[in-house]
A and B are shown apart, each in its own frame.
Chain A
Amino acid sequence: MLETFKILLPASVLIVAALICFLGGTAKISKQVWGPFSLLSLAIASVLLIVMPQILAGPPPSPDASSSVIFDPLARISEFLALMVGVLFAGMAFRQQADDESAPEFYGLLLTLLSGLMVVSVANDLILLFLGLELISIPTYILIYLGKRDTRCQEAAAKYFLLSVLSAAVLLYGLSFLYGMTGSTNLTTIRGVLQQTYGVTNGVVQAASVSKLGIVALVLIFAGLGFKLAAVPFHFYAPDVYQGTNAWNAGLLSIIPKAAGLIALIRIVSHTMVGYEGFGQTVALILALVTMTAGNVLALLQTNVRRMLAYSGVAHAGYMLVGIAVGFWDSWNPSFRLDPVYGLPVGIQASLFYLITYSIVSAGFFAVLVFLARPGKEVEHIEDLTGLWKSQPWLAIAAAIFLFSMAGIPPLPGFWGKLALFGGALSVRGDLSGAIPYPNPSFVALAIVGMLNAAIGGVYYLRIIALMFLHDPLSTPQPRGGRPAMAAVTLCAIVTIVFGLQSRPVLTLLRDIDQPTAIEVATTPKLLPLTAAK
């Protein structure tokens, strides 16, 4: 029990800090203190996270049925990601919120949703995990509304609220099936039960033992989390909401829910639902194909920056799903373990790597937009960036770095991420029945479609770069973002370059993320998903 509190300590720090914000906001304190205060709380949480292994004293306890939280490498990396994104976005908002009446509420909400992401990262229990997701969603509704306070913004907030509630209901419905099947909300227990009941009999996975209830649960969970990821066709809210709110909110929205969705997906499905890898793979494959293609193609037409970035975010979610699909295959078949491609991680690890790099790059580009925004005048049209090179050379260079990374140009991290994802898809050999030695055709198709998409994506990213560098400015921007936003841009640019040139430390960290070996069998599983439901 004590362990549980220890693990939740960093998240609790943020919650307490948020409460102080909410309460202190009613007192007559200068609005300027809340920004530094939230940065301080984030710093304390980071320190706690760093020394967490010492706090826990000894090796992290192996997850058992009694523990509703888990502190494994996945949790650690995700929590770090949450804190890093938090620091960036708190910094970006400094100037914007300095003279705003709602500054304390604003920072309180930011801290709350960050703690939500941290809870999702460590949750080993369906209820806690769902709680974490809601801790992210509810502050987001208010933040979107606080953003601009015009009718469009209200519409965006309302849309996001309605669809988010719907998706939460779907997710909860899926989770209830899972609970119904196994009689537990603890992920470790669920995994154990699934492995016993439906998994292996006499060393062979029994096809008939896969329950239809499980399939229903799987699809509903995918649908619910697909909304968080902004996977097609659960993405509809994204363009409207991004466009309706301001750049800061859009940036937050492009990172935090996606991270939460991906981590939750890995926890609930990839690491838990033993025996359903074949179905999970099919769903992930379809979603990945549709998502990246639709995202990229629709982004081509956009002229509004945030709308374009919304579709671009959809496309990136598609790339991440490629890794999830490969990951299912990986855990399905222990005798066909994938080798790391070019020394890069494959499958789930590749997805996480992509998520991390995407978060930095996306935060950086939104920071550029935040920097350029003036009160009541956001950067709306892509052409507002024309000739940025002339007026703000460093900003233009940084923006180009982010866009090049999104487009996947070496040596930036976007390239490594795509290489790892598509390389992983190409290294899938054989089908689920085992013995075919050549590359799996559907994964090859996935990789090819992915690469075509990367090419399509290049068009709209490079178009912005061309506008920034090759044309004369239409007007002189009078940016109001100030030094904090500039610092965020610079930090992101430096981290992007360093990750591109020296990605080894991150990769090594990721390699520690253990993928629980799904089925311990000596022989090749004989299960065919085709015959599963006959």
Chain B
Amino acid sequence: MPEFLVTLIPLCPLLACLAITVLGPKLLKENSHWLTILGNAAAFVCALSALIALTSTSMIPQGHRTFELYKWMSLPASANTGALDIAITLHLDSMSAIMLTMLTFVATLVAIYASSYMHGDPGYPRFFACVSLFTFSMIMLVLSGNFLQLFMFWEAVGLCSYLLIGFWYEKPSASAAGMKAFLVNRVGDFGFAIGIFLIWIHFGSINYADTIFNPELLAKVAAANPGLLETICLCLFAGAVGKSAQFPLHVWLPDAMEGPTPVSALIHAATMVTAGVYMVARCTNLYMLAPHAQLVVSIIGGLTALIAALIGLTQTDLKRVLAYSTVSQLGYMFLGLGTGTFLGIGGAMFHLITHAFFKALLFLGAGSVMHAMGGVIDMRHFGGLRKLMPKTYATFLIGSLALAGLFPLSGFWSKDTILASVRMAAHPEAHAADSHAAATDGHDAHGKQAAVGHDDAHAAVSSVDRTNVKLFGIRATVWYEILFWVGSFTAFLTAFYTFRAVFMTFHGEERIPEEAGHHAHESPSAMTTPLIILAIGAAFLGLALGHMTGIFDGFLDKTVHGVAAHHAADWFVIGLSTVAAIAGIGLAWVMYAERSGVPAAIAQSMMPLYRLSLNKFYFDELYYIFLVVPVMCLAQFSRFFDWIGVDGLVGFVSRVPGAVAKLARPIQNGLVQFYALSMMLATAMLLWALLVRPGW
């Protein structure tokens, strides 16, 4: 059963994509969305079945299943290189099943939403073909069982993202944004590719089964090559930084909002940008042996969370506020992943899922507003829409509360877990007894057969001495202490900028821009129904699956052993983050609930800081001066050199065969007697060469 079922998950969207590509422009036209919705929904049903199959130990006893769909080539190992199998391998375990279910669910809702949102667009079939292609690529990325396939579909989702950001390619800003996303991602992918090469060189394989799922081998390689795993982890992380828009490569994501809003919700909030988080979580076994790399992951994550939140404070474009918020929340996930605790990994993965729900909800809500306002998305131009768009308002509010992390909405559970894990990393001694107990707990829970891998993994993990990890001469625990306070402060900022957006958009006196005309209205039900469904998820997911019930951790534990270990609730963190969230919302209420002079006055009093935030810390400008301009100069120089030097040389070389041919051409003179003569002469020459002059 599972093989066929798992194969169906990517197959459905792929077939939808192909069918729309072939039939769309001429036959389907405005009905193209049906195939995408159908494909995604079918994939969701299969993914959900796979998820359920995984929970029962009788169907998939070992808790994961890998199978090869197709092998393109297979190079046997030689003296200096390992074997290279280029194959399409699907790997299903609890981590990929969770991702798949979330991905296909959100993709289905977004496709339904887009069928109404994109109505009347000339590129309607093209849009849905791209969305289906993206869903397929993302599913293959999540399901991949080797690094090459991961990389291939990593690029494929990047391509889909590029196609969809630049969907309205007539708009110069849209095509520029698409280009920017593509180029910035290249920087990260460079590191990613090097990481994969390093893995291949040192492990002799690129299959997960022979590398990251093999703790003994990992420990052996780590012992043989000190520092190697750290390097690999940092290289892989470079790819994650690009794909998941982390500092300093975060600049592409806000610009990506040029694409249609459903795309922003699906690709640039819920799924593709989380590929980096997923990849790092996938390589947990690897990162657990590289404490320095983990610290770097955490620092980059924390820094990104803070910077993006600060920029989000002053943005006036509703979608851009949400985009910076996405960057910031992704930073949280890396912050959790880098703590080196199973609590952090579980928290990051859980945050990934809850974030997908509430951020997709917020983006779709913003799209609903934009739809009603005739394409205007600048919050200064409208306000007080809560009466006009009650459903959008209610769902947007739920999403915002979840993002702010207010009890008992889903964001609260996942964000608190991450913050608690950072605090745990900052005070390892206080939690040592706790985690030891957790280890034995886990052992008992899994019974003997599952415990084999667990023990090995645990042995490998505990063999790394974390007490002496230092970066820039500062001990890791100190770093984590700083990061904890950074994270808590960011929680406050998050609540503030989210509700600034809520109040500016939905509260105060009703103002509608001219572009909306007279038909400003609530969106049709094809758009509001996905909002309501996502709002339910955003509200109750944490309560249903989080620490109260432990369902999520228990399930993820099948892949990352140790996640399900019981941890005492950290009341300090819970209290602190709740206070931060309420303070943020309150401050936003004071400043933005009614239009007042307060924000302007504050902006006036802190002009430099305000400008810094408004101009996104001048990252784009800095990159322009220090990267784009030199590269352009180099490009001009290269072009010149290419023109004079290389082209001249190549032109010369390429003319050689032609010139030779011209010389040889007269031989083909059309005279049959000459042809016969040449044949005989050639035979004679060969005979002479072999008989008379055999010496050469």
Contact = CB atoms under 8 A, between A and B. Distances in A.
A binds B: yes
Interface of A: 158-159, 162-163, 166-167, 170, 212, 215-216, 218-220, 222-223, 227, 233-234, 236-237, 239-240, 279, 282-283, 286, 294, 296-298, 300-301, 342-343, 411, 456, 459, 501-502, 529-530, 532-534
25 contacts: A162-B672, A163-B675, A167-B679, A215-B690, A216-B691, A219-B687, A219-B690, A223-B679, A227-B679, A236-B678, A237-B675, A240-B668, A286-B686, A294-B664, A297-B657, A297-B664, A298-B665, A298-B668, A300-B657, A301-B662, A342-B73, A342-B75, A342-B76, A533-B694, A534-B694
B596 interface: no
Contacts of B682: 223, 233-234
Contacts of A163: 672, 675-676, 679
Nearest to A223: B683
Main secondary structure of the interface of A (DSSP, over half): helix
B661 interface: yes
Interface string B652-696: 001001101110110110101011101101110011011100110
Nearest to B672: A159
Contacts of B57: none
A234 B74 CA distance: 39
Nearest to A298: B661
- The 9 closest A-B CB pairs, nearest first, are A236-B675, A223-B683, A233-B682, A297-B657, A533-B694, A301-B661, A297-B661, A219-B686, A159-B672
Interface of B: 70, 72-76, 654, 657-658, 660-662, 664-665, 667-668, 670, 672, 674-676, 678-679, 681-683, 686-687, 689-691, 694-695
Contact of A533 (B658, B681, B683, B691): B691
Contacts of B654: 459
B683 A219 contact: yes
A411 B73 CA distance: 10
Given A170-B679, A297-B658, 14 more contacts: A162-B676, A163-B676, A163-B679, A212-B691, A216-B687, A233-B678, A234-B682, A282-B689, A283-B690, A286-B686, A297-B664, A342-B76, A343-B73, A529-B694
B657 to A, nearest CB: 5
A236 B679 CA distance: 9
B656 to A, nearest CB: 9
B75 to A, nearest CB: 5
Contacts of B687: 215-216, 219
Report whether over half of chain B's contact residues are helix, strand or loop; otherwise say mixed.
helix
- Max chain A C-beta neighbours (<10 A), residue from B70, B670, B682: B682
Contacts of A529: 694
B686 A301 contact: no
Contacts of A294: 664
B544 to A, nearest CB: 45
Contacts of B670: 240
A532 B70 CA distance: 51
Given A163-B676, A233-B682, A343 B695 contact: no
A223 B681 CA distance: 10
A236 B672 CA distance: 9
Contacts of A411: 72
A166 B657 CA distance: 31
A236 B668 contact: yes
Contacts of A298: 661, 664-665, 668
Contacts of A300: 657-658, 661
B678 A301 contact: no
A234 B691 contact: no
Contacts of A283: 686, 690
A296 B661 CA distance: 9
B694 A223 contact: no
A237 B675 CA distance: 7
A237 B660 CA distance: 20
A215 B657 CA distance: 34
Contacts of B664: 294, 297-298
Residue among A215, A233, A300 with most chain B CB within 10 A: A233
B22 to A, nearest CB: 11
Contacts of A240: 668, 670
A234 B680 CA distance: 9
A288 B352 CA distance: 60
A279 B695 CA distance: 12
Contacts of B679: 163, 166-167, 170, 223, 227, 233-234, 236
Nearest to B670: A240
Contacts of B690: 215, 218-219, 279, 282-283, 533
Contacts of A236: 667-668, 674-675, 678-679
A233 B681 CA distance: 9
A281 to B, nearest CB: 11
Nearest to B659: A297
Contacts of B674: 236
A158 B675 CA distance: 13
Contacts of A233: 678-679, 681-682
A237 B678 CA distance: 11
B694 A297 contact: no
A212 B692 CA distance: 10
Most buried by B among A236, A279, A297, A529: A236
A437 B668 CA distance: 43
Nearest to A236: B675
A411 B690 CA distance: 40
Nearest to A240: B670
Contacts of B683: 170, 219-220, 223
Contacts of B76: 342-343
B676 A301 contact: no
A279 to B, nearest CB: 5
Q: Pick the most buried of A163, A294, A298, A459: most chain B CB atoms within 10 A of its CB.
A: A298
Nearest to A299: B661
Nearest to A159: B672
Interface hub of B657, B668, B689 (most chain A Cβ within 10 A): B657
A501 B668 contact: no
Given A236-B675, A298-B664, A223 B686 contact: yes
A400 B274 CA distance: 38
A163 B672 CA distance: 8
A423 B347 CA distance: 51
A190 B565 CA distance: 80
A219 B73 CA distance: 39
A119 B670 CA distance: 33
A421 B255 CA distance: 50
Interface centre among B660, B661, B665, B690 (most CB of A within 10 A): B690
A162 B680 CA distance: 14
Nearest to A529: B694
Contacts of A212: 691
A494 to B, nearest CB: 15
B665 A301 contact: yes
Contacts of A227: 679
A296 B657 contact: yes
A340 to B, nearest CB: 9
A218 B678 CA distance: 19
A446 to B, nearest CB: 16
Nearest to A528: B694
B694 A530 contact: yes
Contacts of A158: 672
A530 B695 contact: yes
A411 to B, nearest CB: 7
B162 to A, nearest CB: 21
